Amino acid sequence: MKINENLLEEYSGIISYLIRSERHKQGLKAKCLADQTVSEATLSNIVNRTATVREDKIYHVLEKLGIRKEDIPKRIQAEHTEQETIRYYLKLSEALINSQQLEEAKKDIDFYKQNLCEYHPLYPFNQFLEGLYYLGKKEHCLAAKIFLNALDTCAKYYLNPVDNFASTCYSHLSKCKYQENDLEVALHYLEKGLSVLDESKENHKIKWFLLGNKVICMEKLGHFNQALQLVQEIWRYIDEVEFLQVKLNLYKSKANLLIKNHQLDDALQCASHGFQIAYNSPKSRYIFDFLMILGSIHLLQKDCISAEKSFKTATLIDDTMKFPRRHIDAYSFLAILYIYQQEWGKAKEVLDHAVTIGREVQDIHRLTRALIVNGNYFFFQNQLEEAIPYYEEAVMLAKENAFYHRQYHALFKLTDCNAALGNDKLFTKFSKELFYLQKKIELNREEDIYELH
């Protein structure tokens, strides 16, 4: 490595680290390096890489720290080699996390947490891996805090350990908040990730994760028009989406949104295609998702035999309950079918399963639907007093988690019950709540399937 006009620019990150490191070793404050040649402001520009600085000034600062001009290439080469070795080891830790070898990965993460200084270019990457570790342990609150710390470290020291690092952190922050049912904040982080994305750099394909998860959050929050519009924009590039998980999620979202838009034939075609992709791939859990979607389409088409077969198949091929959330869906849809057929005994049995699993896994979005269907079980038998507690719980949970469309549907049924029972005060109270909630959300399409007519 020889000194040339591009050397300092190409390795500006290493130069910045060398200055910080040498200053720290010698116990010098930044102002100690400032003189008539290099001001404190210029020194800040060199270290933080916030403005272009003449090479002679950079050499001057390095020489004041005891690094001779002729030794600079050798020092840069040595530091570059060391950082690339550390980067390789950190990538190995990431591979361990992705393979669920969490505790083995944690050993290396803890080692570098102790042995890298905060301003080291790869320190935020190690923080990111620690966040991934806790995300894998399902400690979502702690994981989110660590991802935010990684972003703060980058901002404090003007670091960028890998291209599009901030977008990647925001993507995982969104996952944490999604798992905590905080969908508004999850959506906010996805939008932040997209806003700082640089598609001209490496790791730009994180864009598809951000966009795919944005559709999911928008759909769950009831922003159906915007979600469908976004899916249609993405669909022009669907063949460019290399990540199977993202592609399957997009097929799921598009099919669900087409159902909500009453385009059942298009939804069936989309879901059938998605099912075939899932069937031919190792992503087996998506088979259950597409069985739910296909079954719900058959349900709406009053093809009761095909609907029942779809939902029952989903439960049978997951008899070990590896994917309990999908069982909530299957049992809820089966209950809707059995209520429509007035098979009350069968309906109650599957509803009990749906609500029990929903409470166990704390999937509030699915649980609220199961509660509404449970209310419907009693409502359609004219047992209104028994229906009310289920609707009330659904309203409470939906309101707490910003599932406004589900809140509206449960509240409507609750209002209906109180009207029929002659509870005028409660009828008036709930009617006012419905009015203000209706002003808040779009109600030009049904949010989900709760009953058949």
> How do residues 386-416 score in pLDDT, each as one tens digit?
999 999 999 999 999 888 889 999 999 999 9
Answer whether residue 4 shows pLDDT above 70. Answer: no
The answer to whether the CB of 217 falls within 8 A of the CB of 183 is yes
Name the band, by pLDDT with cuts 50, 70 and 90, for residue 181.
Answer: confident
Q: Can you give the pLDDT at residue 63?
A: 87
Average pLDDT over the chain, rounded to whole?
92
Q: What is the pLDDT of residues 356-388, one digit of tens each?
A: 999 999 999 999 999 999 999 999 999 999 999
Is a pLDDT exceeding 90 seen at residue 445? no
Mean pLDDT, residues 44-72: 87
What tens digit of pLDDT does each residue of 117-137 get?
999 999 999 999 999 999 999
- How do the domains of the chain map onto residue ranges? 7-67, 323-453
**Yes or no: domain 7-67 corresponds to CATH 1.10.260:** yes
Q: Any idea which fold 323-453 has?
A: 1.25.40
The two domains 7-67 and 323-453 share their CATH topology (first three levels equal): no
Which pLDDT band, with edges at 50, 70 and 90, does 444 fall under?
very low
Residue 441 pLDDT: 77
Q: What is the mean pLDDT of residues 215-224?
A: 90
pLDDT score of 67: 87
Mean pLDDT of 295-307: 96
Q: What is the pTM of this model?
A: 0.84
- In the predicted model, is pLDDT for residue 92 greater than 70? yes
pLDDT tens readout for residues 227-261:
999 999 999 999 989 899 999 999 999 999 999 99
In the predicted model, what is the mean pLDDT of residues 45-60? 86
Residues 5-41: tens digit of each pLDDT = 567 778 888 989 998 998 888 888 877 788 888 888 9
Distance CA 312, CA 295 (A): 10
